[in-house]
Structures are given as C-alpha cells and as structure tokens.
Amino acid sequence: MTLKLSSHAPAPDGTVLEVTPESAGWRYVGFRVVRLAAGESFAGGAEGREACVVVLTGQADIEADGESFTALGDRASVFDGPATSLYVPAGRAYRVTGRSDVEIAICTAPGTGKGTVRLIAPEDVGQEVRGKGTNTRHVRNILPDTAEAESLLVVEVITPGGHWSSYPPHKHDRDAFPEETFLEETYYHRLSPPQGFAFQRVYTDDRSVDETMAVEDGDVVMVPRGYHPVGAPHGYDLYYLNVMAGPRRNWVFRNDPAHDWIARI
C-alpha cells in the first residue's frame, strides 16, 4: 500500500500534487496543490464536489460563481499565521490567478451545492494550542465541523521541532457516532528549514496497515484508516494541512488504548 506521494514539477495547469478518490482508492477526500506564477491561472469546480481553496503562500485573485475576491493571501511561508481561504459549494466554477508567485491547496469532498461562496479570512480562523510539553502543537481551524460546509473539514497544524502531533495516536475509521466517526484524511507536509524531514506512522489495531514514512517538504500522506501519529525532529518545525471527509461531518476520534494514558498526564 502506497500512502505517501511527493510533489513534482508543475504540470501545464500548475498542479504539483494530486490525490483523487480514484487514485487513493477511497470515496470522499480530494486534494491538489497548485503553484502559479504571477498572471497564471487555474480553473476548477466540479459537479458533486465542494471545495475549499487555501492560499498557502503568495497572493491570488479568485473568481467564483460570479463573485471576485482580490489580493487573497499575505503569507511568505505557511508558518506565517493563519491562511486565507475560500469555500466554494459543489458545482460552482472558480478561477485562481496569481498576483505573485502563489501556492494554493484545493481541498474537495462530496457536496450537493448547498450554501454560498464564502471568504474565510485569517481573523475568521479559530486558533488553539493542544497538548503540553513535547506534545504541544498549534492548531488553526479553517473549516471545522461547526462551520458551514457539506462534507469538508480543513485544518492547519504547526508542530515545533522535537514535538509530536496527532498524538497520542488516534483514529477515526469507524462510522459509529457518537463514539467515533469515519473520516478519510490527507496530511500535506511542509518543513522549516525546508531541507528537513519528519516521520509519520499509519497503523491499525490488527496491523493489516502498518507503515512508517519519512516525510519531506511537499509530501502528502494518505490516511484511509488507522492511527496516524507524526513526529518532528529537533531543529525542524513541521506544518501540515489536514483535509478530512466522510459520511458524517463530525470529527470524533478514538485514541489507541495502549497509549491513551498519555492524554491524561
């Protein structure tokens, strides 16, 4: 099972990384990273797929469903505070044009077209600190389950060097609300400095899935099921963008019972 993909040179439309339900062998989450030079454009929008366009770095103009949003984004690095994003309901066309060199993430999931195009400004992003000690990480909730959307959940996380994240190991692969929900998930990793690396393990209780990966700047890890902790080595801060979706839009997870004690110290 191949759970990790690396970025490549830009395709003609600027795509450097793409996960589709078909390529991942699952049903819900789609994820694409696009890099554009100033003046270059990417056109998107699909029937049955809602989207959240996250401006990772640089600045872009976006036209969506007849509305224009100009000069979106002000980050030189993904580590520079919360992102600017745009929510686009299913079936609505959009076009992203770089005002500068820009990197965008396009997060997609099933939708019927409910709702309206909505700007998610940095000040709209809920921020929180989770964990303590070397389990501390900084969370930016772009599209949590309390915000309007049909399937998508989108969040950024900063894990300082020497810290762990998505830890204690947890999973959300059982459709058993309110005890647990089934959510597919992608992790898009960036590192500072960029020559660094981190580790992510994906494993199930029965170890039918058990893969540990060294991830580098620009890699994506797919989590179809199982626990999925992440560790950032000393000296290298880790950013990841999570996209989740499933049959129910709630994030309810279960810690690995062997390690659940860590959450109580």
Q: What's the mean pLDDT when you consider all of the chain?
A: 97
Residue 42: which domain range?
4-264
Average pLDDT for 224-242: 98
From the list 169, 187, 136, the residue with the least C-alpha distance to 260 is: 169
Q: Model-level pTM greater than 0.85?
A: yes
Amino acid letter, 205: D
State pLDDT tens for residues 156-180. Answer: 999 999 999 999 999 999 999 999 9
Please compute, for residue 221, the number of CA atoms within 13 A of its CA located in the half-sphere on the CB side: 27
Total domains in the chain come to 1
Q: What is the maximal distance between C-alpha atoms in the chain?
A: 52
Q: What is the CATH number of the domain that holds 101?
A: 2.60.120.10
